[in-house]
A and B are shown apart, each in its own frame.
Chain A
């Protein structure tokens, strides 16, 4: 187990790499990558059973990035964990394995190809059913966006997960309250998401998605829930860690200039 301080150091490295990758590619999605960084760091370093010996096997915990545009985060986490060979700066370049949206056939450790919102959570339901069938005790994790929850398919998946009592499935909803066209509440209000998932038969845990104790406790609690899937409803800040990106929808899918990159890296602690 890593200490909170160690996790925070890893998350800082990951945030820096996100900024570098997106800047270098001159495209990509910094906002939603930064908002989920603390959650994914905790998940990969302290919760999931994944390491270089089992990365190519189904006999491990698996993760679906349903909000596939946060690919810089996933690649940076895999790199920080020592599971990724690719040069992070090949992100979004021609002939690279690090596609703009993740491709499971190109990168070991990417468990599902995603990018079209709403579909990843359904795939996670399928994986959780398969694990039940195969008496595989490993768990399935998924990360969704709050804008993504506007897709009807998310609710079809939510219904199916509860119907099949998938207590081996734990989804995290990144509630940063922003999507591309602005505030989720202005575009198409999905609230109250906690109550909706409860009504769909899920166990819901509400947390601050940047508080490491709360993140760790939520994943632990989810492991002990029986007979229903768990949703971790995480309040987050889009762009977290880079002050000029925080809570600003304009940083959803725009790359920083080299100067902005420098300022961001400085704020994250040098380099």
Chain B
């Protein structure tokens, strides 16, 4: 299948939603071509509002629209949506539990050449900590396209984290996105990998290689980081000796933290966290950055071998 970015799928899905739901309005902050929110103009230009380079204002305006009965989609890069407009999201959107869907693109280091100022590796942490906020991240375009109509149906604030980079599809056309439930991509044994976003594909590539070596990890796509499918996570954890989390986000406060918080309450066990290790990244090609910051399939293979190797010694 062709490589497609999740933001592309967002634009496509949002067009469909706007076509069938007259209650949706869409806002952007001078990035509507990049986030793909601008695609809705082809369906109905009257419901699209470019707010200019003014993300804070955009979020509170979206809140006002939602307070007047609209379902407001607001898009920008993750850095300027979750980052620049953080307090507006917290106080204007989440506190009153308004129906604003923050659909951010260009998350993580796969932004590439623009560099650290544009590579948001903190947004899951920032959004997850806000009461009433849901945090979703599709693994590929197939999932993103199914996720957006479900987001329309959800009551209250939602943050959807998407990517700039076009990547391989993890899922085939038979995939059925189930809101709120972890997506088990492959059921193996011994080692359990929880991944989210673009890291699902990297982990999948890693697992394909590892199986050739006789290591068969279970791979789980966590598309809904909040509220986390605690039951699903604990059930899977009980069946495995080792757990690795991998995400294109800081190891502080993201998927790894969410999984660890869940397990420490329900089934205490150790968790190895892969992600950006509390550092700013830099300019470079996405694949070079994934390599340097140890988020590519090679790094995952190494980490699994390490964890698995230690296990053999223990036994």
Give A residues with C-beta under 8 Å from B. 25-28, 68, 92-96, 98-101, 103, 113-118, 147-148, 150-152, 179-181, 184, 187-188, 190
Contacts and interface: CB of A to CB of B under 8 A. Distances in A.
B113 A152 contact: no
Given A28-B113, A101-B115, 15 more contacts: A25-B113, A93-B283, A96-B282, A99-B282, A100-B114, A101-B114, A116-B84, A117-B53, A147-B53, A148-B53, A151-B53, A152-B54, A180-B33, A181-B38, A188-B52
A116 B28 CA distance: 16
Interface in B97-116: 112-116
Contacts of A148: 53
B50 interface: yes
Interface in B26-82: 28, 30-34, 38, 50-54, 56-57, 79-80
Shortest beta-carbon contacts, A-B, top 3: A188-B52, A115-B117, A94-B284
A147 B52 contact: yes
B50 A101 contact: no
24 contacts: A25-B113, A92-B115, A92-B284, A94-B282, A94-B285, A95-B284, A99-B115, A99-B116, A101-B115, A115-B114, A116-B84, A117-B53, A118-B53, A147-B52, A150-B52, A152-B57, A179-B30, A179-B52, A181-B31, A184-B52, A188-B50, A188-B51, A188-B52, A190-B52
B118 A100 contact: yes
Interface of B: 28, 30-34, 38, 50-54, 56-57, 79-80, 83-84, 112-118, 282-285, 288-289, 292
Given A116-B80, A181-B33, A152 B117 contact: no
Contacts of B113: 25-28, 92, 100
Given A27-B113, A180-B30, A180-B33, A115 B53 contact: no
A114 B117 contact: yes
A68 B34 CA distance: 18
A115 B52 CA distance: 16
B229 to A, nearest CB: 34
* A28, A96, A99, A100, most chain B CB atoms within 10 A: A100
A99 B51 contact: no
Nearest to B31: A180
A94 to B, nearest CB: 3
B123 to A, nearest CB: 14
A contact patch SS: loop
A29 to B, nearest CB: 10
Contacts of B288: 94
Nearest to B289: A94
B283 to A, nearest CB: 4
Nearest to A250: B33
B52 A180 contact: no
Contacts of A117: 53
Contact of A115 (B51, B112, B115, B282): B115
A179 B53 contact: yes
Contacts of A93: 283-284
A2 B283 CA distance: 35
Contacts of A113: 117
A95 B282 CA distance: 8
Contact of A150 (B38, B53, B79): B53
A60 B34 CA distance: 39
* B31, B51, B54, B83, most chain A CB atoms within 10 A: B54
A118 to B, nearest CB: 7
* A94, A95, A96, A101, most chain B CB atoms within 10 A: A94
A271 B243 CA distance: 57
A207 B30 CA distance: 27
A116 B282 CA distance: 15
A66 B218 CA distance: 47
B118 A115 contact: yes
B13 to A, nearest CB: 21
B126 to A, nearest CB: 15
